[in-house]
Structure 1
């Protein structure tokens, strides 16, 4: 994937690999947060919602497409990314702050695949059907490419799917808004690859209305599950970030639009 030289911040996430757990040729990947309400790099625009680009695998994947005010397009340009290089788009759930920016990506290459879960309303499909695009729908986990798989649908107040990446550092779980609960999503990811460490959980945690007591319980449970690094983004809430920052300590990452993580 070609990139212009953008102004950006890069955080290298170095996590010890358990002996024999991950293949020696596990890929090194780059995650770029392209949409959200927290700013990491002033060259980018803030907007409620989420989008994250994953680069370095067999396919370049966009997870979620941000909100309807189309901050996604200028943020893609600020990152020096060519939208035409996106091979696959994975949508976590139906809410507009995660799919509303899709139209801003058009036109897309004819072979770009759009992945939605089977419960995604069929009356919404037309908005994603650009000429030649494919919309594979599956109840269970779906492989996007080698080392990238969806969790499949996870039940909750809003049905949602997350993306699990296998990297040289361990598993990376990327979540849109975590309506089913961030613990449930991490447990679903862990069930796919039970022998592999969870290097990073990044995305929206949907905990803005949670009490401090509940937030501490959730954070401690994630630590018990072996989550090594945590990066809450939109839908998480300021108190969530404060509590997680305290409990995860140096393992907490300040996530915002324009953040680039190399794993």
Structure 2
């Protein structure tokens, strides 16, 4: 993943220690999961530190189309406040996501203020996923259940009584 299109500004503050120095984290260690069932594809990401648009660009390179649904944080949360540049990046990202034929499910690391902005732009195309519970994705993943274990920081997927751990 090399793109940095509309990359959340807070991610520029995340560093890796190399020897005695710190350098920008490239997030090359991050992984993404694609579930396919009944002709539908669901892209699952964690906090999307590489930027959700960049992840979707790479998905299109690999699959030649957009996923039907995306479950991912957008890592736009900022403390203690949001700059105008942060808020504009959120709006631009929302405008790009709105043009896609994709349902989005996001969570805590998107941030409350960015979520409200994105929801205003994207409407019913965007939903908030709680920390645990049954997915409301209807036919897209009708037999999948999703939960996030805060203690182990693992995404847990359940299907037909089987547990899948990411």
TM-score calculated relative to the size of structure 2: 0.56
The Cα of 1:215 is off from its aligned counterpart by 0.4
Matched, 1:231 2:100: no
Question: Does the 8 Å CA contact 2:98/2:125 hold for their aligned counterparts?
Answer: no
Matched, 1:219 2:89: no
Is the helix fraction higher in 1 or 2?
2
Gaps of 5+ in 1: 1-155
Question: Does the 8 Å CA contact 1:230/1:248 hold for their aligned counterparts?
Answer: no
Which residue of structure 2 lines up, in the alignment, with residue 243 of structure 1?
117
CA distance in 2, matches of 1:171, 1:242: 26
CA distance in 2, matches of 1:245, 1:231: 11
Question: Does the 8 Å CA contact 2:105/2:128 hold for their aligned counterparts?
Answer: yes
The Cα of 1:227 is off from its aligned counterpart by 4.3
Is the strand fraction higher in 1 or 2?
2
Question: Does the 8 Å CA contact 2:94/2:121 hold for their aligned counterparts?
Answer: yes
Gaps of 5+ in 2: 1-24, 142-166
The Cα of 1:169 is off from its aligned counterpart by 6.0
Closer, same or farther in 2 for the Cα pair 1:257/1:242, shift >3 Å?
Answer: same
Matched, 1:181 2:51: yes
Which residue of structure 2 lines up, in the alignment, with residue 206 of structure 1?
75
Which residue of structure 1 lines up, in the alignment, with residue 27 of structure 2?
158
SS state at 1:198 partner: coil
Higher RCO (CA 8 Å, separation ≥ 6 residues)? 1
Question: Does the 8 Å CA contact 1:172/1:198 hold for their aligned counterparts?
Answer: yes
State the number of aligned residues: 108
Which is higher, the Rg of structure 1 or of structure 2?
1
